[in-house]
């Protein structure tokens, strides 16, 4: 069922967002169980989301949400909202949840929507007692306590959670169905002679026979009188293929045919590389798919789990990609006539399309999941004038040639009490945003600190990788650095590591404090109120110059405490950009200061966090800084900030950004990275097309 709108709890989101993805995963746990279960949740999330350490990898892009609390006697503030066509809620249960009335009430009041599945996971045997009454009555639990203390606890957890995510998230389960009907079906493709492939397949078969997963092993399972070839191909049409590549595999006709059939039917496939000695020619069709390396020795339990996890996750990725791209196509993100592929296209697939559909190759449009291919990988598509695209990029995209200012920084997590996303979603957003902005020949303007794992590093590393992928000479990020930061030699050395993509701007000392600085070439520590005031003036000047040199400004994240300026950095950059009439994109759904700013604008009521009293209470030494700054006329005027924020015209804010007010409100509230980037690109194109005169 495609939902026409999304239901939100009023204290969680201000307005509905437009995009309703096919699947979202939610995780709920008691804080006293965190040591036992949170590492498992983190390991599973690494598979479900794009790995920020490997931003160009072709992994899953399923949104994930986290719910807990910092106070063990209290339950989470809100239940998981209905955010997707299918929401799968993993509920981790123990003595701590069973013997706590607040938690029992929270669990009993979990919503009951269509497409909203609760998967109870007992991490202690006592947790199963939740099935006796209430919301979870008579439900079967995942018995995680059976393996959590074993050396393979992470592997078993990921396998079990993956299978339930596949079952509830990507299948239509009628009340009359038995559970086994929604289980994954695996096709073991292997050489039938007695080599390594057969031995590995037999080991996997024995494991599957003791699980709730289904499998097709070999011709011995075909009923007498049925056509051998038809039976195999019919099984392939409904299966995920595990191709066990041994020394004999590629030379076997039926192994080749099984792979070709799976490719033709667009089925999920993984390759298990178990070569012992040598293969004179790897079968070309057995490429462009995930590969798991296994030694030629007998398969142990750990390696069987690795293979099955890879097969399950590729099945989820494959099915989810199809559903997501079809949904985006219905939303108009993708050409209505585009062919949807769950993998980047292969030339044989294009030949089959042209042959079967009587189309010209130059008239075909192919859409595949993010991220876009390397330039070298698209030489053949360019040669045939084939249009290839991802949801956020097309080979026919026009350049924007704009100077885009980025105001993105991290924030302190709240233990998933109110904001239910990990901060890595903000990093994932920054990586994807930078990739798509630079690929359209924009210059990025950033004023950030230089430290390992900081957002400046994320941005510059993404630019470095993209420069190599696009094979271009000029691909620059301009980074503004305030005094005294640019006096530190280690900062200049840090720049040197990214000299091919970064253009540093050293911002001079403001004139009004120049005489207060005895040695402009020496670093000044912000270790007293007077020095902190000097820092605040330098940071303000840096922000003014950075914003002035930008055509537009994009804001996301942002911390409210432990900063070095006269007010939180992103708040100051927003005020400077707004008063300069710059187009501004507020990405509020990813948390931090910008989320609170969006709430304040929507409600026309400033949040307490943007008041002098809150800032003084939560930031040591801030009152002394404000007193000095007020005496010299450069303090943070929170009454002025209140008047500005509460009187912002949202219609004007949206119009400047090239968006409708509905789109802008979606941008302010969406928790989804792809939707946020899509809306930003949509607004930038509108600004470019209308020929707006941008302030510089």
pLDDT, residue 81, reads: 92
Percent above pLDDT 90 for the chain: 57
pLDDT, residue 56, reads: 67
pLDDT, residue 281, reads: 72
Higher-scoring residue by pLDDT: 373, 142: 142
Query: Which residues make Cβ contacts (< 8 Å) with residue 117, sequence separation at least 6?
Result: 86, 87, 88, 89, 168, 169
193-227 pLDDT, tens digit per residue, is: 767 888 898 899 888 888 877 766 555 554 444 44
pLDDT at 165 over 80: yes
Contact between 135 and 109 (Cβ < 8 Å): yes
- In Å, how far are 396, 411, 613, 667 from 19, measured between CA atoms? 24, 25, 38, 11
CB atoms within 10 A of CB 21: 21
Give the ranges where 7-94 is alpha helix by DSSP (H).
34-48
Contact between 362 and 51 (Cβ < 8 Å): no
Q: Which of 101-115, 458-472, 678-692 has the highest mean pLDDT?
A: 101-115
41-87 pLDDT, tens digit per residue, is: 999 998 898 877 776 677 788 999 999 999 999 999 999 999 999 99
| Residue 515 DSSP code | G
455-477 pLDDT, tens digit per residue, is: 777 778 777 877 777 667 666 78
Q: Which residue has the tokens 């330098």?
A: 538
pLDDT, residue 236, reads: 87
pLDDT at 537 over 50: yes
Contact between 516 and 534 (Cβ < 8 Å): yes
Provide the pLDDT confidence category of residue 264 given band limits of 50, 70 and 90: confident
Helix-strand-coil split of the chain, %, nearest 5: 45, 15, 40
Tell me the backbone φ, ψ of residue 142, rounded to 5 degrees: -70, 125
Provide the pLDDT confidence category of residue 177 given band limits of 50, 70 and 90: low
pLDDT at 540 over 50: yes
Q: How many angstroms separate the CA atoms of 93 and 141, rounded?
A: 9
419-450 pLDDT, tens digit per residue, is: 999 999 998 898 889 888 988 889 999 887 66
pLDDT, residue 366, reads: 92
Contact between 329 and 275 (Cβ < 8 Å): no
Transcribe 185-237 into DSSP letters: EEEEE--SSSSHHHHHHHHHHHHHHTSS-EEE--GGGSPTTS-HHHHHHHHHT
Name which of 133-137, 382-386, 537-541 the model is least confident about: 382-386
587-642 pLDDT, tens digit per residue, is: 999 999 999 999 999 999 999 999 999 999 999 999 999 999 999 999 999 999 99
Provide the pLDDT confidence category of residue 688 given band limits of 50, 70 and 90: very high
């Amino acid at each position: 069922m495609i939902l026409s709108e999304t239901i939100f709890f009023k204290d969680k989101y201000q307005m509905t967002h437009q995009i309703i993805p096919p699947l979202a995963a939610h995780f709920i746990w008691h804080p006293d169980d965190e040591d036992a279960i949170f590492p498992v949740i983190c390991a599973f999330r690494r598979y479900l989301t794009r790995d920020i350490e490997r931003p160009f990898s072709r992994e899953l892009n399923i949104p994930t949400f986290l719910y807990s609390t910092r106070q063990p006697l209290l339950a989470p503030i809100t239940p998981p909202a209905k955010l997707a066509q299918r929401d799968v809620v993993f509920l981790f249960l123990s003595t701590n949840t069973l013997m706590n009335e607040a938690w029992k009430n929270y669990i009993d009041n979990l919503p009951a929507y269509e497409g909203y599945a609760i998967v109870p996971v007992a991490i202690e045997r006592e947790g199963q007692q939740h099935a006796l009454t209430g919301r979870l009555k008579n439900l079967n639990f995942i018995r995680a306590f059976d393996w959590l203390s074993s050396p393979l606890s992470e592997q078993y957890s990921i396998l079990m959670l993956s299978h339930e995510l596949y079952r509830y998230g990507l299948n239509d389960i009628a009340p009359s169905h038995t559970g086994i009907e929604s289980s994954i079906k695996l096709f073991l493709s292997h050489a039938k002679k007695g080599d390594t492939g057969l031995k590995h397949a037999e080991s996997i078969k024995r494991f599957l026979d003791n699980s709730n997963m289904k499998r097709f092993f070999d011709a011995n399972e075909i009923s007498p009188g049925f056509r051998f070839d038809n039976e195999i191909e019919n099984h392939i049409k409904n299966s995920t293929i595990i191709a066990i590549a041994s020394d004999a595999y590629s030379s076997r006709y039926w192994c080749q045919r099984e792979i070709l059939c799976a490719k033709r039917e667009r089925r999920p496939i993984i390759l298990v590389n178990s070569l012992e000695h040598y293969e004179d020619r790897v079968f070309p069709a057995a490429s462009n798919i995930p590969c798991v390396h296994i030694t030629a020795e007998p398969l142990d339990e750990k390696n069987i789990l690795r293979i099955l996890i890879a097969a399950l996750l590729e099945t989820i990725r494959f099915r989810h990609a199809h559903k997501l791209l079809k949904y985006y196509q219905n939303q108009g993100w993708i050409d209505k006539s585009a062919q949807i592929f769950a993998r980047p296209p292969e030339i044989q697939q294009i030949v089959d399309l042209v042959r079967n559909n009587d189309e010209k190759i130059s008239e075909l449009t192919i859409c595949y999941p993010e991220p876009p291919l390397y330039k070298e990988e698209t030489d053949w598509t360019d040669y045939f004038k084939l249009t290839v695209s991802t949801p956020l990029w097309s080979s026919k995209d026009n350049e924007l040639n704009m100077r885009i200012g980025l105001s993105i920084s991290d924030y302190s997590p709240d233990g998933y009490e109110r904001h239910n996303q990990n901060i890595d979603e903000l990093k994932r957003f920054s990586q994807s945003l930078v990739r798509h902005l630079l690929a359209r020949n924009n210059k990025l303007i950033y004023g950030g600190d230089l430290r390992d794992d900081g957002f400046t590093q994320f941005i510059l590393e993404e630019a470095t990788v993209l420069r190599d992928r696009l094979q271009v000479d000029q691909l620059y990020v301009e980074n503004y650095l305030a005094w005294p930061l640019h006096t530190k030699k280690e900062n200049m050395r840090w720049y040197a590591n990214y000299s091919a993509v970064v253009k540093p701007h050293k911002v001079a000392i403001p004139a009004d404090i120049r005489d207060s600085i005895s040695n402009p070439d020496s670093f000044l520590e912000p270790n007293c109120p007077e020095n902190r005031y000097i820092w605040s003036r330098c940071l303000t000047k840096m922000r003014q110059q950075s914003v002035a040199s930008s055509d537009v400004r994009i804001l996301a994240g942002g911390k409210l405490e432990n900063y070095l300026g006269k007010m939180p950095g992103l708040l100051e950059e927003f005020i400077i950009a707004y008063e300069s009439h710059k187009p501004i994109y507020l990405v509020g759904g990813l948390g931090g200061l910008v989320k609170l700013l969006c709430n304040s604008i929507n409600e026309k009521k400033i949040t307490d966090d943007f008041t002098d009293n809150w800032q003084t209470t939560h930031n040591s030494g801030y009152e002394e800084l404000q007193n000095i700054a007020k005496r010299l006329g450069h303090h943070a005027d929170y009454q002025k900030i209140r008047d500005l924020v509460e009187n912002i015209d949202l219609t004007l804010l949206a119009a400047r950004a090239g968006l409708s007010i509905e789109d802008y409100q979606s941008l302010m509230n969406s928790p989804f990275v792809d939707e946020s980037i899509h809306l930003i690109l949509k607004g930038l194109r509108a600004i470019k097309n209308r020929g707006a005169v941008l302030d510089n």
